[in-house]
Amino acid sequence: MRAFWLIAFCSAVAVHAYAGIPRVTRLATADRAALEHPASIKLSYSVRAIPASVRSACATVISDHKFALADPGKPYNESCGTDDRIPDRRLIWAARLPEHYVVHYESGGIAHSFHIMVVSFPSSRPRVVWRAAADEYKDYSTFVGALKRNQLFDYYDSKF
């Protein structure tokens, strides 16, 4: 019974603390401004349209160091049943901005989830400058609206 009350207390504290924490905590001011007010945006819905250097940069920050993506609507490992012949992630869209690439994708497994990765680009060495857990955003403007409302989660490390 003591364990039950300890768990209940910790859960209540966590929920209360979570409610007051800004969800977008690690995005640099300059990067945020570039994402919220880009000079131009080119959306793509094909993994082939994302430069290999951008995909490679994304691979460096995830636990399996692979960033294989299926194209939108194509099969991927949506649940725990793993098929090594298809990726664990599926592209929703990618956006090319003047100095950034934004990759929005879903990840399968025990807990299906959505993610955003922002890569500095062009540069001699593209690198992920920000990543967050997200909801599914139908397009770039929906993502920016969520960003402005701090509805993305970037304060924990994850395998995504």
Domain annotation covers residue 133: yes
HSE, side-chain direction, 13 A CA sphere, residue 137: 24
Domain annotation covers residue 154: no
Number of domains in the chain: 1
Domain annotation covers residue 131: yes
Q: Which domain does 96 fall in, by range? A: 27-148
- Enter the pTM of the model: 0.82
d(CA 96, CA 89): 20
Token readout for 55 is 């995909």
Domain annotation covers residue 35: yes
Dihedrals phi, psi of 36, to nearest 5 degrees? -75, -25
- With a pLDDT cut of 90, the percent of the chain lying above it is 62
Decide if pLDDT at 75 tops 70: yes
The DSSP bridge pattern shows strands 69-70 and 100-107 to be unpaired
Domain annotation covers residue 155: no
Q: How far apart are the first and last CA of the chain?
A: 36
HSE, side-chain direction, 13 A CA sphere, residue 66: 11
Closest CA to 93 of 83, 101, 85, 81: 101
Lowest mean pLDDT among 88-102, 108-122, 130-144: 108-122
Domain annotation covers residue 6: no
Q: Give the rounded distance of the alpha carbon of 97 from its chain centre.
A: 16
- With a pLDDT cut of 70, the percent of the chain lying above it is 82
Domain annotation covers residue 2: no
Dihedrals phi, psi of 158, to nearest 5 degrees? -145, 165
Decide if pLDDT at 31 tops 90: yes
